[in-house]
Amino acid sequence: MKEHDKVRELLTLSAAGTLDSSEQQMVERHLAECAECARELEGWNALAGGLRRLPTPRPSAALVERTRTLMVKHLAAEAERRWDLGLLVFAVLFAWTLTLAGWPIARLLTSGAAAWLDMSFRQAWLGYAAYTAVGWVSAGVAAVILGLRHRTSRRMA
Amino acid sequence: MMWEVPVGLENEAARLRRGDPAAFEALLERYQNRLYRYLLRMVREPATAEDLFQQTWLRVAEKIRSYNPQRSFEAWLFSVARNLAIDHLRRYKPESLDEPLATGETRADQLVGAGPTALEGVIVRERSSRLAATLGELPVIYREVLSLRFEEEMKLEEIAEVLGTPLSTVKTRLRRSLEQLRRRLEARGSASEWQV
Amino acid sequence: MSRFQEEFRVIPRTAMALAVLWVLAMAAGMAYLVYVAGGSDFRNPGNWFLRPLLIVVAPLLTGMYVLMVGYIYGDARRRRMRYVLWTFLAFFLPQAIGILLYFILRDPLPSPCPQCRTAAPANFTFCPFCGTPLKPTCPQCGKSVEHNWTNCAYCGKKLEQPTSNAA
């Protein structure tokens, strides 16, 4: 009778279609001789069938439309952010390239074409360093001013 | 679906990761009904299901990178929806989570079964709304496993992924949920008239 | 059309023409410097990079600089920013720092009002010409709210879900 008990436990899962082949075979073998289990299985199958046939509630067209709009907006904002980041990275690299390439050119010009300025290496170096520093300081000042203006205009909107 | 066809899988997963809006719109169209149905089974109120529907799709757009293309897409999609639903229930309706006791029974389970023939009668004669209503009375973890197995027709492995539990737990829950559903239907059937 | 091509079209034709002219003029000037008036520095094999650097790289970099200033002019205009100021900053601040600043601080693109189709900056909540809300708003204080908020972040009023505005 032990098999009978085991099969009874498997009947629900059989109706759910989740038995593996060996379990399924054992159940089918048992059902051939046990009418009680066969009746029981019919009941479970009916329940499973009822569950499978439940009507599907549908989302309203308005909901789907709203969701689509939101999702697309979000994706567009994401793409925009990624693009902006790429642009920023490019701008930084560009600025650095200009700075680094500027030194040999400045040096060259002061020794070659602008030799009449008669600068020593040290003076040329200091001159270039000062030029770079002035650039960064003025940029910093401009950034602060513009950033403040930017923030107030954002707040007012 | 996505995890069946390798070639299509590469393209579609790649387009989704890139943020191609057309790919997402196609997804929405393909899964809108099923996702809504699942959410409605979970939270039972249409207004909440609609709200969670929106949130789920936004999450999908945000978290698409966390989807591993080697695994089933449906399992991932439904697990996103499930997490949102469980969070909502935990926050607003903690009593509905009604975890069953160790024996698998809840308080409402002291019902006497009337036998297999009565059950068949209930299924055959009643309208599906009776079945759906009884389904709605089950605890959430039973409702969801029945919905995923019979309405979404997911394999056990996928259900295990969605729920984040081992396969054996899924089988046990499936069995217990069917048993409890049957008990309640039989009790209903024997306690009231057969009209709907 | 790829994103890059789209953005490239923002550069005014004049800027593109100027960039090309400048590149050619500078390359020519550098070539003169190197081959005609050049000093001993160029013959030193240790300085092999100087010739391509001066004749090719430097003019190209400067040409790119001009193009970017042109882009900033066009882009700042379409975003309704103070484009004259920004163009000046981009041009005069050395080492492309003005360009960098622009990309950090620029406003978002204006989106057209769904009612009257005028373009308004993207951070406006209501259209300044016809008053229609451009974003979901709180029914009590009128500030713009996000779609997934349950309460208004400015006045605290409970918001009903889902937000009715199609924006």
Query: What is the C-alpha to C-alpha distance for residues B193 and B126, in angstroms, rounded to an integer?
Result: 10
Question: What is the predicted pLDDT for the residue at B84?
Answer: 94
Q: How many CB pairs under 8 A join A and B?
A: 115
Mean pLDDT over the full length of chain C: 80
Query: What is the C-alpha to C-alpha distance for residues B122 and B191, in angstroms, rounded to an integer?
Result: 11
- Other beta carbons within 10 angstroms of residue C108's beta carbon come to 12
Burial class (CB in 10 A: 0-12, 13-18, 19+), C165: middle
- Our CA-based measurement puts residue A72 at a distance from the nearest CA of chain B, in whole angstroms, of 6
Of B47, B50, B55, the CB nearest to C148: B55
The amino acid that residue C41 corresponds to is D
Question: What is the predicted pLDDT for the residue at B33?
Answer: 94
Question: What is the predicted pLDDT for the residue at B144?
Answer: 92
Query: What is the C-alpha to C-alpha distance for residues C85 and C152, in angstroms, rounded to an integer?
Result: 37
pLDDT tens digits along A129-140: 877 787 777 777
Mean pLDDT of A45-56: 88
Question: What is the predicted pLDDT for the residue at B113?
Answer: 43
Contact yes or no for A57 and B123 at CB 8 A: no
Question: How do the pLDDT tens digits run along chain B, 196 residues long?
Answer: 454 444 455 578 788 888 888 899 999 999 999 999 999 999 988 999 999 999 999 999 999 988 888 888 899 999 999 999 999 999 887 766 655 554 455 444 444 444 445 555 555 555 567 888 888 889 999 999 999 999 999 999 999 999 999 999 999 999 999 999 988 888 877 544 332 3
For residues C121 and A87, the model is more confident at A87
Q: Which helix (H) or strand (E) holds C120?
A: strand C119-120
Question: Which of B182, B159, B10 has its CA nearest to residue A42?
Answer: B182
Task: With a cut of 80, say whether residue C138 has pLDDT above it.
Answer: yes
**Residue C147 with chain B: CB contacts under 8 Å:** 54
Question: What is the predicted pLDDT for the residue at B97?
Answer: 62
pLDDT tens digits along C10-57: 898 888 888 898 889 888 887 877 777 666 666 666 667 777 777 888
- Our CA-based measurement puts residue B46 at a distance from the nearest CA of chain C, in whole angstroms, of 12
**Residue of B54, B56, B58, B62 to mutate when probing chain C, most C C-beta within 10 A:** B54
**Residue of A98, A109, A148 to mutate when probing chain C, most C C-beta within 10 A:** A98
Residues of C with CB under 8 A from a CB of A: 3, 33, 37-39, 41, 49-50, 53-54, 57-58, 61, 64-65, 68, 89, 93-101, 103-105, 108, 121, 123-125, 147, 162, 166
Of A55, A59, A72, the CB nearest to B32: A59
Task: With a cut of 50, say whether residue C97 has pLDDT above it.
Answer: yes
Give the pair of three-digit tokens for residue B76.
């991932």
